[in-house]
Amino acid sequence: MLSVKLFNITTIAYFGAMVVFIAYLATRSRGVALVATIVSYIGFALNTAAIGFRWYESYQILGVDGRAPLTNLYESVVFFSWTIMLLYIVIDLKYKQRAVGAFVVPFAFLGMVWAQLYLNDAIDPLVPALQSNWLTYHVITCFLGYAAFAVACGVSIMYLIKAGKEEKNPEGSPVGGLLGVFPSIRVLDDINYKAIMIGFPLLSLGIITGAAWANYAWGTYWSWDPKETWSLIVWFIYAAFLHARFTRGWVGKKAAWLSVFGFAATIFCYLGVNLVLSGLHSYGGS
Amino acid sequence: MTTRDKSFFEHIWDFFCSLKLAIATLILLAITSIIGTVIQQNANPQEYIQEYGPTAYKIFVALDFLDMYHSWWFITLLIVFAVNLTCCSIKRLPRIVRIVAHPDKTPDEKFFRTLGRKGEVETSLSAEEAAGRAAEAVGRLFGRIERTDVDGRICLFTQKMAWSRFGVYVVHASILVIFAGALMGAFWGYKAFVNIPEGSSSDKVWPRNSNQPIELGFTVRCDRFDVEFYPNSRRPREFVSDLVVLDNGQEVLKKTIEVNDPLTYKGITFYQSSYGPMGNPLFHFKVRERATGETVEVKVRQGEPAELPGGAAFRVADFTEQFQNFGAAARIELLPGMTHEHKPGERHPSFVVLKNFPDFDAQRGGKYIFSLLDYKQRYYTGLQVAKDPGVWVVWLGCFMMVVGCFAAFFLSHRRIWVVVQATDKGSRVLYGGNAHRNQPAFEIWFENFSAQLEDAVKNG
Ligand code: HEM
């Protein structure tokens, strides 16, 4: 399938972008940063094309039963990588902080590698329960939310590294070396908050569309199955994050930790529930 | 005495208004919710004892871990959460209403000192002239202004999206609305199921956790059930039921339901959820006697004997809908007929007839040539039945949450004040503004605004 080949090239592009971003941290050359950014944009374009092709191929293989490629673990992982890059590009266009790429692109790369090496890329027809437009809305909103949290987690890691170093240099001299190209911790804290501000409503929408779908398919919008419960746990964590900003002391480092922690819960919600716990959802076991 | 009472009450009030409690509750909800995802909920006692041992089982029961989302302590946590939300909003809402409904349109100098973004210009224009030009500039760059004259000062005021201040409160209210909808569903709704064989009807459904059926007050009939498979696959593509609702003996509603497309009547919704076979399938064969060329059509159920011309008989011994990718196949067993002498220990000859290959059996060279014209498996349709009068309230809450979140995060209440006062040389223009969100964007906007405003009111 052409789409699988395109996904392979996408993976290589993300790998290349990641390496060049890390080279940028080492060299602090703006030219290198530009190359890294361009490579990551190319990767994103390839990722987009690959998803488009897979959609097209589903119609070739399944005829009228073709469908948006958002229905099994493989497709969700490559879509997750795509959403991470989309959110990364939004943040890149707004803040133009190139170093952020070194901490966000690896998430997209890891997703692609995992999908390409270990997941089943067959295009299978859908069981009746999954034949619903709600599935598409649900997956898109959830993953855009997750991607925003991935970006927040990336900048939070940068924050923690940079803030940790600055504490060790109490003279207030700006830290050099690798950290020289990091955005200031104020900007990192701001991006963290902004990304979560984007992610939280999207996650809310994701949970709501999931509930709407469940209600439409079998008449209960909420049944406390592990996947639903974990998405609610993630939602609680980020709600706590938003409120914690109002009380003193929960900006900066604590907020960064909470963001990293929230993303860990997000990943568990996405993968752990299927791979570790069992549930009703379709992504398990494939 | 009264003062001590009051302070005690105030303590409680402050406790339930505090944001610390909110964060603690959110984190507690997040942590405790994990339990129910690790320990399976509402399973059989034996399963728990087998997996965790009897002691752990007793502890789980004591702590309500086996149905934790309905346990007293989890519900208590949710109530604390709701009370917290309500108190906190009641406490803060009046201030927001004041800000929105009664903005300070005639600010004094002290007020300007508290503003983050502000400026001041002296001009030789008269106060009236300067105010006119300022109003024009503000109108062009921001929006319509209101003018108030007090104590010889001309005060201009304008604001945008004041109502976005309520976004947070809409989000908070949405959670209470969703809770209300969930409670309505819990008190006045039910979840049940019913299996209806094709051609039959039912006026009762069976709730999940009781043997007592619920009367629907009308009848549901299933005229047809059908399951369709993907080509060359055992994976169902869709299953559908033709349902008819009969109220007082009258057909009032007809719909073909399928998974993800239910039928609703009088607030009760029927969801296609499962199916199963009812009894043996009915086969329709064409049988030709090779010698005479005489052809008969036979309808017979699986397992039952059927007679053939010439005195022989057969039965369908076995059937599958998918025989090695050849499609539906029936295994036929010839039986000793009326005239045929049965020898003890004789094995009945049996062979396979394929529905998709009607001429296949002719090659067998038997006395009779069978073709399977059709078969009909009777099914029952498995319906999930739900009545939830609160579901619209829940959707209303969800809608409020999304709209509220959008307003809370992405809309900003922005205000601009300009105060013009006559001086000896002309007039003095004080101006300032603030935004309750997205400060960096407002800062950039304000810089441009301040340059243009100062330009407008400067001499000439
Ligand atoms: C999971 C439930 C909750 C959700 C989804 C939620 C949502 C929100 C959102 C989206 C904001 C705006 C945050 C921001 O501007 O960054 C907010 C602010 C706030 N929330 Fe909540 N909230 C929840 C629970 C609570 C509770 C239980 C309290 C009780 C004290 C509370 C008190 C506040 C306060 C005081 C603010 C700041 C309001 C202001 O800007 O004046 N929230 N909430």
Mean pLDDT, rounded, for B430-457: 88
Does the pLDDT of residue B333 top 70, yes or no?
yes
Confidence class of residue A280 from pLDDT cuts 50, 70 and 90?
Answer: very low
Mean pLDDT, rounded, for B236-255: 90
Q: Give nearest CA residue, ligand 1 atom 36.
A: A243
- Does B393 lie at the interface with A, CB-CB under 8 angstroms? no
- Asked if B260 and A273 come within 8 Å (Cβ–Cβ), the reply is no
Q: Give nearest CA residue, ligand 1 atom 20.
A: A243
User: From ligand 1's centre to the CA of B88, what distance in Å?
Assistant: 9
| Residues on chain B touching A210 (C-beta within 8 angstroms) | none
pLDDT of A201 reads 96
pLDDT of A260 reads 96
Confidence class of residue B8 from pLDDT cuts 50, 70 and 90?
Answer: confident
Mean pLDDT value across chain B: 88
Mean pLDDT, rounded, for B427-440: 88
pLDDT tens, position by position, A234-272: 999 999 999 887 765 677 888 999 999 999 999 999 988
Confidence class of residue B202 from pLDDT cuts 50, 70 and 90?
Answer: very high
Q: Give nearest CA residue, ligand 1 atom 9.
A: B168
User: From ligand 1's centre to the CA of B175, what distance in Å?
Assistant: 11
| Contact yes or no for A180/A30 (Cβ under 8 A) | no
User: From ligand 1's centre to the CA of A236, what distance in Å?
Assistant: 11
Does the pLDDT of residue B26 top 60, yes or no?
yes
pLDDT tens, position by position, A29-53: 889 999 999 999 999 999 999 999 9
pLDDT tens, position by position, A191-201: 999 999 999 99
| Contact yes or no for B433/B415 (Cβ under 8 A) | yes
| Residues on chain B touching A217 (C-beta within 8 angstroms) | 259-260, 271
Mean pLDDT value across chain A: 88
pLDDT of B345 reads 57
Confidence class of residue A174 from pLDDT cuts 50, 70 and 90?
Answer: low
Return the minimum-mean-pLDDT range out of A146-155, B29-38, B319-328. B319-328
Return the minimum-mean-pLDDT range out of B63-67, B227-231, B396-400. B227-231
Task: Return the domain boundaries, chain B.
Answer: 8-95, 103-161+412-458, 172-279+380-402, 282-375
Q: What span, in angstroms and rounded, lies between the C-alpha atoms of B376 and B226?
A: 10
pLDDT tens, position by position, A47-80: 999 999 999 988 888 877 778 888 889 999 999 9
pLDDT of A284 reads 38
Does the pLDDT of residue A176 top 60, yes or no?
yes
Does the pLDDT of residue A112 top 90, yes or no?
yes
Q: What are phi and psi of B379, to 5 degrees?
A: -120, 160
Bridge partner residues of B329 (DSSP):
B320, B354
pLDDT tens, position by position, A2-35: 888 999 999 999 999 999 999 998 888 889 999 9
Atom of ligand 1 nearest to the CA of A200: 10
Does the pLDDT of residue B232 top 80, yes or no?
no
Does the beta carbon of B81 sit less than 6 angstroms from any atom of ligand 1? Answer: yes
Task: Return the domain boundaries, chain A.
Answer: 1-126, 151-286
- Asked if A233 and B36 come within 8 Å (Cβ–Cβ), the reply is no
Higher pLDDT, B324 or B396: B396
pLDDT of B346 reads 59
Confidence class of residue A149 from pLDDT cuts 50, 70 and 90?
Answer: very high
From the list A220, A237, A243, the residue facing B191 with the nearest CB is: A220
From the list B20, B236, B395, the residue facing A128 with the nearest CB is: B236
- Does B401 lie at the interface with A, CB-CB under 8 angstroms? yes
Does the beta carbon of B168 sit less than 6 angstroms from any atom of ligand 1? Answer: yes
pLDDT of A65 reads 77
What SS3 string covers chain A?
Answer: CHHHHHHHHHHHHHHHHHHHHHHHHHHCCHHHHHHHHHHHHHHHHHHHHHHHHHHHHHHHHHHHHCCCCCCCHHHHHHHHHHHHHHHHHHHHHHHCCHHHHHHHHHHHHHHHHHHHHHCCCCCCCCCHHHCCHHHHHHHHHHHHHHHHHHHHHHHHHHHHHHHHHHHHCCCCCCCCHHHHHCCCHHHHHHHHHHHHHHHHHHHHHHHHHHHHHHHHHHCCCCCCCHHHHHHHHHHHHHHHHHHHCCCCCCCCHHHHHHHHHHHHHHHHHHHHHHHCCCCCCCCCCC
Does the beta carbon of B87 sit less than 6 angstroms from any atom of ligand 1? Answer: no
Q: Which two tokens stand for residue B15?
A: 């406790």
Does the pLDDT of residue A204 top 80, yes or no?
yes
pTM of the model: 0.85
pLDDT of B344 reads 56
pLDDT of A286 reads 33
CA of A231 vs chain B CAs: smallest distance (Å): 10
Confidence class of residue B460 from pLDDT cuts 50, 70 and 90?
Answer: low
Confidence class of residue B303 from pLDDT cuts 50, 70 and 90?
Answer: confident
Task: Pick the most confident of A90-94, B257-261, B344-348.
Answer: A90-94
pLDDT tens, position by position, B139-149: 888 888 889 98
In a 13 Å sphere around the CA of A55, the CA atoms on its Cβ side amount to 12
pLDDT tens, position by position, B264-299: 999 999 999 888 888 888 899 999 888 888 888 888
- Does B457 lie at the interface with A, CB-CB under 8 angstroms? no
What SS3 string covers chain B?
Answer: CHHHHHHHHHHHHHHHHCHHHHHHHHHHHHHHHHHHHHCCCCCCHHHHHHHHCHHHHHHHHHCCHHHHHHCHHHHHHHHHHHHHHHHHHHHHHHHHHHHHHCCCCCCCHHHHHHCCEEEEEEECCCHHHHHHHHHHHHHHHCCCCEEEEECCEEEEEEEECHHHHHHHHHHHHHHHHHHHHHHHHHHHCEEEEEEEECCCEEEEEEECCCCCCEEEEEEEEEEEEEEEECCCCCCEEEEEEEEEEEECCEEEEEEEEECCECEEECCEEEEEEEEEECCCCEEEEEEEECCCCCEEEEEEECCCCEECCCCCEEEEEEEECCCCCCCCEEEEEEECCCCCCCCCCCCCCEEEEECCCCCHHHHHCCCEEEEEEEEECCEEEEEEEEECCCHHHHHHHHHHHHHHHHHHHHCCCEEEEEEEEECCCCEEEEEEEEECCCHHHHHHHHHHHHHHHHHHHCCC
Q: Spelled out in words, what is the top-level CATH class assigned to the domain B103-161+412-458?
A: alpha beta
- Does B238 lie at the interface with A, CB-CB under 8 angstroms? yes
Does the beta carbon of B133 sit less than 6 angstroms from any atom of ligand 1? Answer: no
Confidence class of residue A171 from pLDDT cuts 50, 70 and 90?
Answer: low
pLDDT of A285 reads 37
pLDDT of B342 reads 52
pLDDT tens, position by position, B127-169: 888 999 999 989 888 888 889 988 888 999 999 999 999 999 9
Does the pLDDT of residue A188 top 80, yes or no?
yes
Mean pLDDT, rounded, for B46-54: 88
pLDDT of B402 reads 96
